[in-house]
Amino acid sequence: MRILKGNPVSRGIALGKVYIYKAFKADVHESYFEAGKEDEFYKKYQDAVKTAEKELDSIITSMTGESPEKAKIFTAHVEILMDEEVEEGVKEMIYESRTMPDYAVDEIYTHFANLLEKAKDPLIAARAADLRDVRNRVLRILKGEKESNLSSLRENVIIVAHDLLPSDTATMDRNRVMGIITEVGGATSHTAIIARSYKIPALLGVADATAIMSNGDNVIMDALTGKVLLDPERETIKEYQEKLVEYIKEERETSQYLDKIPLVASGERFSVGLNVGNTDPDESYKYVDFVGLLRTEFVYMGSEHLPTEQEQFEAYRRVLANAMGNPVTLRTLDIGGDKTLRYMVMPKEDNPFLGNRALRFCLVHIDMFKTQLRAALRASAFGPLQIMFPMVGTMDDIRAAKAVVEQVKQDLRTEGIAFDEKIHVGIMIEIPSIGMIADMAAKEVDFASVGTNDLTQYLHAVDRMNPAIADYYQSMSPSMFRMLGRIFAEFNKAGKSISVCGELAGDHLGALVMFGLGLRKFSMNAANIGRVKRTLSLFTLEEAVNIAKNVQNLSSEAEVIAYVKAEVEKRS
């Protein structure tokens, strides 16, 4: 059995046979025709456009009732097809340079697609895929080939492709597609968006998938943890069949909790927040009370240059708009460690996770830090934004960061630029040294959020990226819960807001223990909302407090997990 890794962009599990899908690949060469045939070749192009329009119209008609959203993609394709600049460009190449229609179409569409791709707005850049899609349609028609798509599959399959174009995903026979695996594509690509909306498990970025797998291969795709298992043994198949049944059952149950008010069985309320790393609108915003973590790295990492104040301001404003009046916790740049910026030279360090990372980096690159703070403060005039610093280790760190905020505020005041004068400023607690003096930190900040991902790494001295020591990385250890209990107690005592935005908040077992330890604010990825709301609703406050007390006296993480799991199962 071989295991391939990928990025799970649409959750789920699928077992089945591989169907390698290769979309039409245009083989276009630079070529010209002799003088006098201009009208003939222009007509050929116009006929191809007409046929393309007919094909698109019939796709739109077949989709309008069932999924108007998808139909819109093809309405946009018709607009591209009819676009005057495109039309003029092709016509000019045919009449003025006697270019063969296929070469002219390829040149003009590719030119515009490349331009779009350079757009700073990722949504506009993603439209380049639509242009290429329309280009391929016209080129295929010019070559006299029939439409080959995923709309008439004969059996249930897991599609494996280099990439899928919008027309592939939108026309595919989704009753037969059990999963999608592609070699390229990110979480905001068309494929990812459509897969999620159809609830088809999808793993993107699986390197060399089409070369390694063949038609008819048996595979298991685990789009919960990001794995493809090739040619699995009988035992593994059985194990995954059980996992699948469990997953379906759980999804059904937990999705009913999405829009419920988060309450435990004895009636106490808790808050659920969303962790966000882009500006896309998402229905999950409806199910939460706040954005507990806006990872601003996406603005920096998705750009070819250091993002300007205006670019950042616009991105943050968009997230505020998505949050519909709920508070948004903007975390300042957390670069270093495993994250680098391609346009910035970052000296190599022996221990980057213990190095010049996050706030430390920002305090050295003060202009960059100020630019981000200006953008954040300006955005705070448009909605409830709060600022949070990552990788805080000492009181000096807090004071230094706050001093920069004060300077930037003063600059804005002098320039007459609006911002929220009462903006809350807080810290992430992810280094044990600040956790140990949480009482002092609580006096110095408006709020804190615990980053359990890093707290586990630093408390247990385990590199979170190193798979060889993954067993040592224990977020549910008794020591973690003792540390967390201490932090929650100090912040609660000081009357300052405390939340958790690390993965442990989205783990229903971890969330239950933390509720018992006094936590009331849990910020997580969208996929975990229903499950956390459901599990906590099964326990009274007293029961959760008891569980939290007990886990701190167990002697290993394995014991903690087994114990809490058993408590949940008793009530499920």
Q: Binding residues for ligand PEP, per CB under 6 A?
A: 293, 295, 334, 430, 451-454, 501-502
| Percent of the chain as helix, strand, coil, to the nearest 5 | 50, 15, 35
100 vs 293, which CB is nearer to ligand PEP? 293
CB of 304 to ligand PEP, least distance (A): 22
Length of the chain: 572
> From the list ligand PEP, Mg ion, none, which binds 501 (C-beta under 5 to 8 Å, kind-based)?
ligand PEP
Query: What are 568's two structure tokens?
Result: 């949940």
> From the list Mg ion, ligand PEP, none, which binds 502 (C-beta under 5 to 8 Å, kind-based)?
ligand PEP
166 vs 451, which CB is nearer to Mg ion? 451
E strand or H helix that includes residue 244: helix 234-255
Contacts with Mg ion: how many residues (CB under 5 A)?
3
409 vs 460, which CB is nearer to ligand PEP? 460
Number of alpha carbons in the 13 Å side-chain half-sphere of residue 232 = 22
Query: 507 Cβ partners below 8 Å, 6+ apart?
Result: 475, 476, 528
What is the widest separation between alpha-carbon atoms in the chain? 90
Q: Is 370 exposed, middle or buried (0-12, 13-18, 19+ CB in 10 A)?
A: middle
Instruction: Indicate if 362 belongs to the active site.
Output: no
Number of alpha carbons in the 13 Å side-chain half-sphere of residue 130 = 21
> From the list ligand PEP, Mg ion, none, which binds 295 (C-beta under 5 to 8 Å, kind-based)?
ligand PEP
CB of 430 to Mg ion, least distance (A): 5
SS3 527: helix
- Applying the rule CB under 5 A, the residues between 450 and 479 that interact with Mg ion are 451, 454
Query: What are 176's two structure tokens?
Result: 């037969």
227 vs 464, which CB is nearer to ligand PEP? 464
Given 190, 424, 460, 508, the catalytic residue: 190
Report the phi/psi class of residue 271: left, alpha or beta, with left for phi > 0 and alpha for psi in -120 to 50. beta
Q: What is the CA radius of gyration of the chain?
A: 27
Distance CA 335, CA 453 (A): 15
CB of 446 to Mg ion, least distance (A): 19
CB of 464 to ligand PEP, least distance (A): 8
Query: Starting at the edge strand that comes first in sequence, how are the strands of the sheet with 13-21 ordered?
Result: 2-5, 227-230, 218-222, 13-21, 157-161, 177-182, 202-204, 7-10
CB of 428 to Mg ion, least distance (A): 6
271 vs 453, which CB is nearer to ligand PEP? 453
Cα 403–chain centre separation: 33
Given 77, 460, 501, 508, the catalytic residue: 501
Distance CA 255, CA 454 (A): 29
Instruction: Indicate if 190 belongs to the active site.
Output: yes
**Amino acid, res. 7:** N
182 vs 278, which CB is nearer to Mg ion? 278
Distance CA 474, CA 325 (A): 36
Distance CA 420, CA 43 (A): 61
430 vs 543, which CB is nearer to Mg ion? 430
CB of 430 to ligand PEP, least distance (A): 5
CB of 112 to Mg ion, least distance (A): 40
91 vs 464, which CB is nearer to ligand PEP? 464
> From the list Mg ion, ligand PEP, none, which binds 452 (C-beta under 5 to 8 Å, kind-based)?
ligand PEP
Please, what sign has the CA dihedral across residues 334, 335, 336, 338? Answer: positive
CB of 472 to ligand PEP, least distance (A): 17
- Applying the rule CB under 5 A, the residues between 407 and 446 that interact with Mg ion are 430
**Amino acid, res. 359:** L
Binding site for Mg ion (CB under 5 A): 430, 451, 454
Q: Which residues are catalytic?
A: 190, 501
